[in-house]
Every structure is written in C-alpha cells, then in structure tokens.
C-alpha cells in the first residue's frame, strides 16, 4: 500500500513536507498546493518546488487549469527543476475557483472536460495525473465523467468521492468510487482513493470493501494525527516516542514559518491552521484549542504549546 499527502492550499508547502519527511517518514509521495497555470511561476512557487527545499521527497506539481496549453507551458517551466509529471486539479471545491469553471467547476460541463482532456493528452509528451471529485451539485453525471476519464492515458486518477457542494461534509459516496474501480482500466491508469481516512477503522472499512486498492491519499487525517500512516502500517510507538516526534515535527514547522514570514503573527496564524486539526490528540483538547486561537504573541503561543506537550 502506498500513501500520499494530499495537496492542501496554505498547509502542504515545503516546510510541512520536510517536517513529515524528517519525523514521520511514511509518505510515499507528495503533491504541491495547486499552481495557477495561467500565470508565470512567482518566487514563492519557485521556492516551494525548488529541489533544494524538497530533498529526498517525491514531489508532484499540481496545476490549476482547464486550458491544455497552460498545462503544457507550466510543464516547460518545471522541467529545469527536474519535474516531469504534472497533476491536474479537477477537484477543488472553492467558490473562487469553480466560478471560473476550474477545479471541480468543470465537472458540471462534461463536454468541456472531454475537449480539455482530448487536447491535453494529444499535446502532452509527459505523464499527466488527475485529482477529481464525482460531480458538481450531485453525482448524476458521474457515469459520464468516468466514461470520459477512461478514454485517456491518465497516469493516475485520484478520486475524492464527494461533489463540489459537499465541500468536506457529508459521507463519501462509495458507490461512485466502486464505479471507478469497475470502469478504470488498471493496466492504463492507477486508481487512488482520497477522503475521510482518519483512523484504522476507516482504513479497514475501505480496504475491506476494495481489497485491490493500492494507493491512498490522505490530507486532513494526517494533520489530525501525523502518525496516522504509521498506525495504518502497524508500526507501533509508545506515548513518549509519539510525543517526542510530534514536538519535533511541530517545532520544525514553527521554525520554518518564522524564517519564511516577515512577522511572527503570520507564523502563528499558520500554526493555528495546523492546530485546528491536531488539537484532538491532546488532553482537554477543546480548552487547548480555545487558548491557541486566542493567543497573539509568539511567547504566549510557545508557552501554551509547551504546557500542552508537557501534559501529553
């Protein structure tokens, strides 16, 4: 079984990727947060994909576009950095994205999707993988969408079995993933599952239902528990070891953010995004989360976090 870290805008940049690689090295592949392919890569994106900042990490750049030539041009920009494959984001549910028919917005227009993929796979001389949802307002078009995907040499198809309007709520539509398992030719396209893998129970439920699945992408579950993949692989660690790894993981991210951002408030804000998921691992988690949300200075933040780890 291979495990991938899902791209999460604002969360899975190289600072976090390196922290996982150094302290919870169970992730087989990482994806960048989406890169707007219509624009030239700016300094921030170049820094994020720089191989120097991703040493030892298998990283796939993710493009946000529904224009084949934009994806091709982004690939040209990435080649000097040593990247070949591109992942195309057809799953982002953000309103600002879907209003431009990008991300999961294009799923409401299957003919447009078909034309985009036809041109892309005709022109691309490099592997192109796709991350998708199963529809926009509902999954009535999923049969049509999966027929379209099955036509093309998609190197890897990651399916998050929710529709755009679900965002990250409601239960994943496992019947839709079952259809993908049935229709996608494994000799041509590798199928990857994404969505709500948060513990061994959810993992076992998935693999019991789909014993042939060999790739799983996890996002929020890994921020709620950075040791999740170790648990899924049956790798045990006692509480003292888990505490030490978590603390080192946290401290590396904080140090990285403080070096990247001009002010400590920006770094604290980014750390709060992580704690929004991770606080559940700690004693009196809701009380801890309220304290972290309220803190404004680095000294206050460090004091709260120190006490949290001491009580872990």
pLDDT of 265 strictly over 90: yes
Same domain? For 125 and 211 the reply is: yes
The parent domain of residue 248 ranges over 239-310
Q: Is 92 a catalytic residue?
A: yes
Same domain? For 196 and 49 the reply is: yes
Instruction: Assign residue 171 a region (left: φ > 0; alpha: ψ between -120 and 50; beta: otherwise).
Output: beta
Residue from 92, 192, 209, 295 carrying the catalytic annotation? 92
pLDDT, average across residues 151-160: 98
Same domain? For 128 and 259 the reply is: no
Same domain? For 115 and 263 the reply is: no
pLDDT in tens, 29-41: 999 999 999 999 9
**Closest listed residue to residue 20, CA positions, set 32, 9, 12:** 12
pLDDT for residue 262: 87
Angle at 121 between CA 116 and CA 125, to 5 degrees: 140
- Looking at the structure of the chain, the number of domains it has is 2
pLDDT in tens, 216-259: 999 999 999 999 999 999 999 999 999 999 999 999 999 999 99
User: Could you give the residue ranges of the DSSP H alpha helices within the chain?
Assistant: 14-23, 43-49, 68-78, 95-98, 110-123, 142-150, 174-183, 200-209, 220-224, 228-232, 239-260, 264-278, 285-294, 298-310
pLDDT, average across residues 113-135: 98
pLDDT for residue 205: 97
pLDDT, average across residues 184-193: 97
CA distance 55 to 260: 18
Residue numbers belonging to the annotated binding site for FMN? 62, 131, 160, 219-220
Same domain? For 256 and 227 the reply is: no
Reported pTM:
0.96
Residue numbers belonging to the annotated binding site? 62, 131, 160, 219-220
């Amino acid at each position: 079984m291979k495990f991938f870290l899902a791209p999460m805008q604002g969360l899975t940049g190289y600072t976090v990727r390196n922290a996982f690689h150094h302290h919870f090295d169970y992730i087989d592949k990482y994806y960048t947060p989406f890169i707007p392919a219509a624009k030239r890569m700016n300094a921030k994106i170049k820094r994020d994909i720089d191989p120097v900042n991703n040493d030892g990490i298998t990283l796939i750049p993710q493009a946000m576009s529904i224009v084949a030539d934009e994806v091709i041009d982004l690939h040209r920009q990435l080649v000097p950095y040593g990247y070949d494959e591109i992942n195309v984001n057809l799953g982002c549910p953000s309103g600002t994205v879907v209003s431009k028919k990008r991300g999961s917005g294009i799923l409401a227009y299957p003919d447009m999707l078909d034309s985009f993929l036809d041109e892309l796979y005709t022109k691309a001389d490099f592997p192109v993988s796709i991350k998708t949802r199963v529809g926009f307002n509902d999954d009535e078009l999923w049969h049509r969408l999966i027929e379209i995907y099955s036509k093309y040499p998609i190197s890897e198809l990651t399916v998050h079995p929710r529709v755009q309007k679900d965002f990250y709520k409601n239960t994943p539509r496992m019947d839709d993933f079952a259809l993908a398992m049935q229709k996608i030719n494994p000799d041509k396209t590798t199928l990857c599952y994404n969505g709500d893998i948060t513990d061994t129970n959810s993992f076992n439920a998935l693999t019991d239902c789909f014993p042939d699945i060999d790739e799983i992408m996890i996002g929020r579950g890994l921020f709620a528990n950075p040791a999740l993949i170790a648990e899924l692989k049956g790798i045990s660690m006692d509480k003292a070891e888990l505490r030490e790894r978590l603390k080192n993981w946290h401290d590396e991210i904080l140090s990285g953010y403080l070096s990247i951002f001009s002010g400590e408030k920006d770094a604290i804000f980014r750390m709060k995004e992580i704690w929004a998921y991770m606080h559940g691992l700690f004693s009196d988690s809701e009380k801890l989360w309220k304290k972290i949300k309220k803190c404004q200075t680095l000294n206050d933040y460090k004091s709260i976090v120190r006490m949290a780890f001491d009580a872990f």
